[in-house]
Structure 1
Amino acid sequence: MVANKNYKGELSVDNFRDKGEKGLPGAPGGKGKAGTVCDCGRYRKVVGQLDISVARLKSSMKFVKNVIAGIRETDEKFYYIVQEEKNYRESLTHCRIRGGMLAMPKDEVVNTLIADYVAKSGFFRVFIGVNDLEREGQYVFTDNTPLQNYSNWKEGEPSDPYSHEDCVEMLSSGRWNDTECHLTMYFVCEFVKKKK
C-alpha cells in the first residue's frame, strides 16, 4: 500500500490504495516514413526576395501617404511636397525614381501654386529644381533649360555665384535663394499628367 497526501499535503487514511501489477509490453510500432532533405537555400532566397519586396512596399506606402496628405495640380502637372529631409542630389533621385522631377516653377502661376502649398503646409523652405552645378553662375532648371523667361530670386540673390551655393530653395514667400547642395530639407516633386 502507498500513502498519498491530500491537497493540503497531509496524510489521509482515505488516500491509501493498492498498486496494481505491471502490464505486458505491447507490440513494436510500424516504421515511420523516411525524412526528406531540406532545400533550405532555395527557401532562404525566396525569403530574402520577400524582405526586399516588403521594403519596397513600405517605401511605396510612404510615398502614397505623402501624396494623399496633400497634392497640388495644374492642367499639365501634379506637385507634391516630400516630407523627408534629403540633400539636393537625393531629392533629384527620389523624384526621378518615382517617375517625376524636382519641381521646376517656370512661370508665376506655378511658382505661386508651389509657394502657397509650402506656406499652407507650415514649411519655411524646400528644394526646387534649379541649380548652377554645371556652370557657375548660370542657373538652369533640372531639365537643363535656362532661366530665360522666369525666375523669382529674393532681393540680393543669388548672393554667392562663385562659391558653394549651387542649388536653389524656395522660401514660403515664393522667393528663391541659392543654397548649399549638401544641406537637407523637404522638397517638391512634379509629375506630368498622363494624356487620356
Structure 2
Amino acid sequence: MNAARNPDEGEVSEAFVSELTNHQTAMLAFIRALMPGSSGARDLLQEVNIILWQKRAQFEPGTSFKAWSFQVIRYHLMNHRRRLASKGWLIFDDDLVERISPALEADPEELECRHQALHLCLSKLRPKDRALLQHRYASGAPLNDYAKVINRSAGTLKATLFNLRTALRKCIERRFQEQGIPLP
C-alpha cells in the first residue's frame, strides 16, 4: 500500500527516515569499530541503509531504533566478514565481535560531543601538525614516505605524533570538563 492511500504509512516512513538520518554518525562509528582498518566503512553504511529501508516495516515505533539498527549491522557485518574470509582476508572472529559490540554502542549525543571537541581541538593545531595527523590516520601511506617528503626523520614524526595525541586528549578532556560532560 502506498503512502498516498494510507497516511499512517507516510507518517511511519517519515519517522523512520528521521531515525535513520539521526543515527548515521553512530552507525558509521559502530561499523568502523567492528571493521577496523576497513576502508569501505561508508560503503558498508550505505548497504546497511538499504537493508534497514527494506526492513523498515519490521521496526516498531517507540522502541530503540539504535538497538534495532545495530543488530542489523551486526548481522550484515558477520555476512560481510564471512565473504572476506572466503577470499582469504584475516578478520575478527564473529564471537569476538559479539562480545565487544555492546561496549561500542555509545550514545549518539556523546559521539557528537566527542566529534565536535575533536574538530575544535584539531582546528587549534598548526597546519603542518594537522597535515601530519591527516597523513598518519587518513592516507594509509607509510610514515617513512611522508618523512622523506617533508625532509624529517620517521622517529621525529613518531615523537611529534605522540605529543599531538597527548595534546588532543588534554584539549578534549578540557572541553568535556568545561561542558560538564563526564569523561569517557
Q: TM-score range by the shorter chain?
A: under 0.3
TM-score of the superposed pair, with normalisation by structure 2: 0.24
TM-score of the superposed pair, with normalisation by structure 1: 0.23
Higher strand share: 1
Higher helix share: 2
Q: Which has the larger radius of gyration?
A: 1
